[in-house]
Chain A
């Protein structure tokens, strides 16, 4: 019973304090500086926050991302093609006879081949004398030749 009484006393005490503070607060709010500040705040224009810049940023990012994706796709497609092309070009350069790339070298080759050919022809002619010259030699095509000449055994058989 006594405990309850104590609680009521405490509550009443708190309410009294609160009442005092509220009154004090009301008095403070009605003070001149406070009312001046309040009127100043009220006089400020009411601006709602705009998200347009964010929208523009998003649009820019989306556009940029589209371009990058296209570029990436192109890179993915053409990088191997370009690599193969370069490799092919190198192969062509390596395999192409030098004389086709350098007109001067081609000219030397023809002149050298002519003089070498004449030199070979003269030597082989000298070697063969009246015999078969290497440059004129034409092997017999045995498939197109029916060897029906007389053999020694044929003569003996007669």
Chain B
């Protein structure tokens, strides 16, 4: 009799569990689903490594309350890239050269060449997924009416979420797939960053030596590893790095403005996206950390010798766990 009564309840519970699991999987699938790019965007992604041009572009980025902006003179020959800054710029005299083999950034005031791994044109494909798109939201592309950018006719393509809120807008030259303008929006539709070409020449003249490795007498070569070790030494932090799993390469190291205690960021790039590795003096609350991630990023953290380590990125939870195990030596 008791079994007879318990049976329907057990069936209902089991059905509920199955349904709940299925719903969870559905969301995960939705979250992990690859973005379907429209033909014009696909053309832009495919054209990026082949395009050659010379032009000027404005870069704007909202960092906290401030709008940081600068202008770049860009020369591109296929996969090779060179950026210079005019005399009036805050970055006057600095030169960036990137090829598939290397990336160099020259600082004239310090006579220093900062060497980092090349970012490549693959970065364009990765950056087609702005932070808002890493979560469980559907993303769609919508084409707008023609707009003129740098004197060229472009087709605006907006990436919008499931409610139609814009996340990113590209202004693509339909003739060659060149992205002449790109805007990023915050959740309320404010532009938080953009780059826009103000002039462009698709048939520039190159001498060929614009993309050679820099040879500057007496210049000091600095790598992100050097910067990281220096910051660790100066701020009493532990010399801990991420392993090279998943193709992670250290791109930058810097201190994060915080509550006075030094917080170090090691910023890694990989084909899977960006991974930030933070070292904080003191403790953190993992629940709050996950809450602040808003489902856009995955996080993992652990403590060791008075420091807390946090990995934030676009890797899956098992991948983050694997990284943290390796760092801890388990």
List residues of chain A with CB under 8 Å of any chain B CB.
Answer: 97, 99-100, 106-142, 144-145, 147, 149
B271 to chain A, nearest CB (A): 14
Rounded to whole angstroms, the CA-CA distance of A112 and B257 in the bound complex is: 12
Instruction: Check if B119 sits within 8 Å of A129, measured CB to CB.
Output: yes
Which residue, B60, B195, B273, has most C-beta atoms of chain A within 10 A? B195
Residue in contact with B63 in the complex, picked from A115, A122, A134, A139, CB distance below 8 Å: A134
CA distance A55 to B118 in the complex (A): 103
Contacts A121-B274, A127-B194, A130-B81 given; does A140 touch B94 at CB 8 Å: yes
Option from A100, A110, A132 in Cβ contact (under 8 Å) with B280: A110
Between A and B, 26 residue pairs with Cβ closer than 8 Å are A110-B258, A110-B259, A110-B263, A114-B276, A115-B297, A117-B256, A119-B296, A121-B265, A123-B131, A126-B130, A126-B193, A127-B60, A127-B61, A129-B123, A129-B195, A130-B98, A130-B120, A131-B57, A131-B83, A131-B195, A136-B105, A140-B90, A140-B108, A140-B109, A141-B110, A145-B93
A-chain residues with CB within 8 Å of residue B265 when the two chains form the complex: 117, 121
Shortest distance between the CB of A131 and any CB in chain B (Å)? 5
Q: When the two chains form their complex, are residues B59 and A114 in contact, meaning their CB atoms are under 8 A apart?
A: no
Interface positions of B from 69 to 123, Cβ below 8 Å from A: 70, 72, 74, 81, 83, 87, 90-94, 96, 98, 103, 105, 107-110, 119-121, 123
Give the contacting residue for B124; candidates A100, A129, A142; CB below 8 A.
Answer: A129
Known: A127-B59, A135-B252, A147-B92; 20 extra A-B contacts, CB below 8 A, are A107-B288, A108-B288, A108-B292, A110-B263, A111-B289, A113-B256, A114-B310, A125-B274, A126-B123, A130-B120, A131-B57, A132-B91, A134-B61, A135-B63, A136-B254, A138-B107, A140-B91, A140-B94, A140-B109, A142-B92
Q: Which residues 269-291 in B have Cβ within 8 Å of A in the complex? A: 273-274, 276, 278, 280, 282-285, 288-289, 291
Instruction: Tell me which residues from 299 to 319 in chain B have a Cβ below 8 Å from any Cβ of chain A.
Output: 299, 310, 312-313
